[in-house]
Amino acid sequence: MMVVLVMIWTSTVGPSGVYATLSEPSVVRTPDTWFSHLKQLGYPWKPHYLHLHYPGLPSPLRVHYIDEGSRHAKETLLLLHGTPAWSFLYRFMIPVFVQAQYRVVALDNIGFGRSDKLTDPASYSHDLHVETVRLVVQSLDLKGITAVLHDLGGPTGVSALRRDPERYRRVVLLNTWLPQGDVLTRPFEHVAYLAWRTLVTVLGRHTPVQTVFKVTTDATSSAVRLGYGAPYPTYLYTAGPAFWPLMVPLTPEDPVAREMQASAAFLQRWEGAALVGYSDREVFTLAGRSLLLHVLPTACEVQIKDAGHFLQEDQGPSVALIIKEFIEGRCVATRRQA
* Residue of 116, 151, 254, 314 marked catalytic: 151
- For 233, 254, 275, 308, the CA distances from 212, given in Å and listed in that order, are 16, 28, 27, 12
Round to whole Å and give the CA distance between 77 and 75. 7
Task: Name residue 302's beta-bridge partners.
Answer: 277
Amino acid at 105: V
- If we measure between CA atoms, which residue out of 91, 275, 299 comes closest to residue 175? 275
Q: Is 260 helix (H, G, I), strand (E, B) or coil?
A: helix
151 is catalytic: yes
309 is catalytic: yes
* Residue of 150, 254, 309, 314 marked catalytic: 309
Q: Where are the beta strands (DSSP E) in the chain?
A: 27-28, 48-52, 61-68, 76-80, 103-107, 117-118, 145-151, 168-176, 273-279, 300-304
280 is catalytic: yes
* Residue of 51, 53, 218, 280 marked catalytic: 280
Round to whole Å and give the CA distance between 315 and 63. 27
- Beta-sheet strand order (sheet of 300-304): 48-52, 61-68, 103-107, 76-80, 145-151, 168-176, 273-279, 300-304
Dihedral over Cα of 97, 98, 99, 101: its sign: positive
What are the catalytic residues? 151, 280, 309
